[in-house]
Amino acid sequence: MNELYKDKLKILSQDEIMLTAIKSLFTERIEKDKPVVLPTDDDKILGEKYRAYEQAKKLLNEIILDIEAYNTNNIKSDLFNKGK
């Protein structure tokens, strides 16, 4: 990834309100496109719809975690074992 993108992600990772707003926007969109269960859907189709919906939610959470990983200011020194 190019350095400019990394710098922007680092800035974004430090803005918790912006991250929450972005996550809320994506979550809202995922919920709007939540699969509709039709009476004609069999178990296989229902499983495919639900799996895709759950995968979208999982991807969103993983992306947010990836962005948060750019925040190097959140590292707390008391979490490290200073004896080693």
Question: What secondary structure does DSSP assign to 12-47, as a single string?
Answer: HHT-HHHHHHHHHHHHHHHHHTPPPPPTT--HHHHH
Q: What's the burial of 30, exposed, middle or buried (CB within 10 Å: 0-12/13-18/19+)? A: middle
Q: Divide the 84 residues of the chain into consecutive groups of 10 and give the mean pLDDT of each group.
A: 93 94 96 92 93 95 94 64 59
**Quick one: tokens of 31?**
């919920």
pLDDT tens digits along 29-48? 999 999 998 999 999 999 99
Residue 15 included in any domain: yes
Which range marks the domain in which residue 42 is found?
Answer: 3-70
Residue 41 included in any domain: yes
- Tell if the pTM clears 0.85, that is, is over it: no
Predicted confidence at residue 81, as pLDDT, reads: 61
List phi, psi (to 5°) of 5.
-65, -40
Tally of domains within the chain = 1
